[in-house]
Amino acid sequence: MIETKGKPNWCPGCGNYGIWESLKGAIKELKLKSENIVITSGIGCSSKISHWIRTYALNGLHGRALPLAEGIKLANPKLTVITCGGDGDGYAEGGNHFIHFCRSNINVKYFVHDNQIYGLTKGQPSPTSDEGFITKTTPYGTIEKAINPILLAIASGATFVARGYAGDINHLKNLMKQAIKHKGAAIIDILQPCVSFNNKNTYKWYQERIYKLEKSSDSRIEAMKIAEQWGKKIPIGIIYQSNEPTYEERIPAINNKTKPANSIKSLIDELK
Ligand SMILES: Cc1ncc(C[n+]2csc(CCOP(=O)(O)OP(=O)(O)O)c2C)c(N)n1
């Protein structure tokens, strides 16, 4: 049973419900056992997803969900470690961790609920808010350009980079299954309508623009060209995927190439 007794308290119509359904479906269909999964998250409406899925979970500080996941994965590489959180959490407060997560290629799955706004704090712009986006703290429109998380992830060395849509639960579930099966750092930036605070990027807005990619690319340059598309046409699907050694595979102690020292003295003796 993947459901918990508690029920989510997101706003009616929130895109988080679609993401929640997709994640539960992916875990069920991959037949993963709850006791072998850990979901880490930060702070935000989206970060509460781990409260309503029956797995181990750790809610961290705002923007610090990825380093928690990385520590857990290194301590027990057999676990399936998933990180969830918002675009503010992952690309602003946790922006530095995001880049280093991508380049590490550690086998952690990062699902970003990208509603292009700070939801929990009731509607300030986030790093993915479109330029000129009007909010209560930017009444004349945001001045800064939006970051493109797909381009950033590819440029930073991630080996699985995808975009999903909370309004297409089946498609997103399949992306999550592929991300979980992928060997290495996997990112899905998930377009998530926020029905209370983002009245621009609505379900209708996304539906008029998104189209499904037929296949992924293993060329960074080709994938970056696809990733550049935003506006009239927005691609969803796996945009870039490659097969490279993971962080864990390159650590001798994890890779069984060296025996861990069983005491400080034996370690010192070994180093002599
Ligand atoms: C270090 C720190 N800064 C700011 C906050 C206040 N805060 C809590 S949630 C949040 C925004 C969350 O937005 P996002 O990550 O996009 O998630 P959403 O609520 O939209 O799902 C902020 C700024 C905090 N808790 N900790």
Closest Cα partner for 120 from 260, 14, 230? 14
Structure tokens at 248: 């864990």
Minimal-distance CA residue to ligand 1 atom 2? 62
Helices and strands of the chain, counted as H and E runs: 9, 8
- What pLDDT does residue 154 have? 98
Number of C-beta neighbours around residue 216 at 10 A: 18
pTM of the model: 0.94
Minimal-distance CA residue to ligand 1 atom 6? 121
Does a structural domain hold residue 7? no
Report how far ligand 1's centroid is from the alpha carbon of 202 (Å): 21
- Taking each helix axis as running N to C, give the angle between helix 16-29 and helix 169-181, from 0 to 180 degrees, rounded to the nearest 10: 50
| Distance of alpha carbon 135 from the chain centroid | 25
Residues of the chain with pLDDT under 70: 256-261
Does a structural domain hold residue 1? no
Does a structural domain hold residue 10? no
CATH number at residue 230: 3.40.50.970
Structure tokens at 181: 């099966």
- What pLDDT does residue 255 have? 76
Number of domains in the chain: 1
In testing the pocket of ligand 1, which one of 62, 96, 111 has its CB within 8 Å of the most ligand atoms? 62
Give the chain as a DSSP string. Answer: ----SS---PPTT-THHHHHHHHHHHHHHTT--GGGEEEEE-SSTGGGGGGGSSSEEEE-STT-HHHHHHHHHHH-TTSEEEEEEEHHIIIIITHHHHHHHHHHT-S-EEEEEE-SSBTTTTSB--TTSPTT--BTTBTT---SPPP-HHHHHHHTT-SEEEEEETT-HHHHHHHHHHHHHSSS-EEEEEE---TTT-SSS-HHHHHTTEEE-SS-BS-HHHHHHHHT--SS-EEEEEEEE-----TGGG-TTTTTSSPPPSSHHHHHHHH-
Q: Name every protein residue with a CB atom under 6 angstroms from any ligand 1 atom.
A: 43-46, 62, 85-89, 93, 113, 115, 117-121, 126
Give the list of residues 6+ apart from residue 71 with CB closer than 8 angstroms, or none.
none
Report how far ligand 1's centroid is from the alpha carbon of 77 (Å): 29
Report how far ligand 1's centroid is from the alpha carbon of 132 (Å): 21
- What pLDDT does residue 101 have? 98
Does a structural domain hold residue 3? no
Please identify which residue in the block is written with the tokens 């290629």: 105
Ligand 1 atom having least distance to the Cα of 46: 21
In testing the pocket of ligand 1, which one of 121, 191, 197, 201 has its CB within 8 Å of the most ligand atoms? 121
Closest Cα partner for 97 from 127, 129, 65? 65
Distance, CA of 103 to CA of 151 (rounded, Å): 13
Does a structural domain hold residue 244? yes
Report how far ligand 1's centroid is from the alpha carbon of 263 (Å): 43
Which region, left, alpha or beta, applies to residue 234 given φ > 0 means left and ψ of -120 to 50 means alpha? beta
CB 167 within 8 A of CB 20: no
Domain that holds residue 59: 16-271
Does a structural domain hold residue 257? yes
- What pLDDT does residue 129 have? 98
- What pLDDT does residue 252 have? 80
Does a structural domain hold residue 11? no
Report how far ligand 1's centroid is from the alpha carbon of 74 (Å): 27
Distance, CA of 259 to CA of 21 (rounded, Å): 42
Does a structural domain hold residue 8? no
